[in-house]
Amino acid sequence: MRLALAQLAIEEASPRTNTERALDAVEAAADRGADLLALPELWNVGYFAFEAYAREAEPLTGPTLSELADAAADRDLALLAGSVVEDLAASAEAGLATPADEGLANTAVLFDADGDRRAVYRKHHLFGYESAEVRLLTPGEALPVVEVAGFDVGVTTCYDLRFPEQFRALTDRGATLLLVPSAWPYPRVEHWRTLARARAIENLTYLGAVNGTGAFDDAELLGRSAVYDPWGTTLASAGDEPALVTADLDPARVEEVREEFPALADRRE
């Protein structure tokens, strides 16, 4: 399977511009023979555009996700549509959230190569440090794992990287590829590199961490999207400029590494 990570240049509160860039990434990934493309966290509105969250929120059936799903299906490409601000009440009206759900969520959606919605992940750990996310958004509960192009794929989002128990739970559910759409800013470069690699190593799994680029009023995204193999070896990475990162992954490699180094089997609860 060829995985692509779209390290997009994100403009604050400019959804149409950002969507055009995402659509361009779908085309570029398909041209490179990718089977699965992942976009960053809140790529359409910009993570730090807190005042735009409510204005730009959509249900899961909204125009942004629908347009991307159609574009990916046209190119026979599975797509993790990063994350967007979801209007939970509107999704509930469409039968895609529980009636009790309300407010907004930071929601990642995984589509298969036919454009069918396969997984919905609402960010579990909301960032409270100098961020309005914890005040504006509702955390999710579900941890889906779905099969895509020979891999069992689990999804987390950005700040979740600091909570290893969530990644272990996905591994226990069979995940062999973990995807982490993010909006990780300077100066925490070493945290970004170390935590993503550690999550791959400790779970003996592939991991793709996709970040954005762009400067906002109070922060600048650091880019450095990367793909790690089950040993934590970097297969592909980018700097801090817009880029499309690609790497070829072998599902049999996960089983081989876990058999060679059976740390997961040696766990004690």
Catalytic residues, by residue number, are 41, 123, 158
Q: Can the peptide bond before residue 187 be classed as cis, meaning omega within 30 degrees of 0?
A: yes
86: left (phi > 0), else alpha (psi -120 to 50), else beta? beta
Q: 111 with 69: CB under 8 angstroms? A: yes
Q: 42 with 26: CB under 8 angstroms? A: no
CA distance linking residue 41 with residue 116, whole number of Å: 20
The terminus-to-terminus CA distance of the chain in angstroms comes to 33
Q: 183 with 18: CB under 8 angstroms? A: no
Question: Between the CA of residue 266 and those of 43, 199, 257, what are the distances in Å?
Answer: 39, 17, 14
Unique residue bearing structure tokens 């125009």: 63
What does the DSSP 8-state code read for residue 240? S
The sign of the CA dihedral 263, 264, 266, 268 is: positive
Q: State both tokens at 112.
A: 């298969």
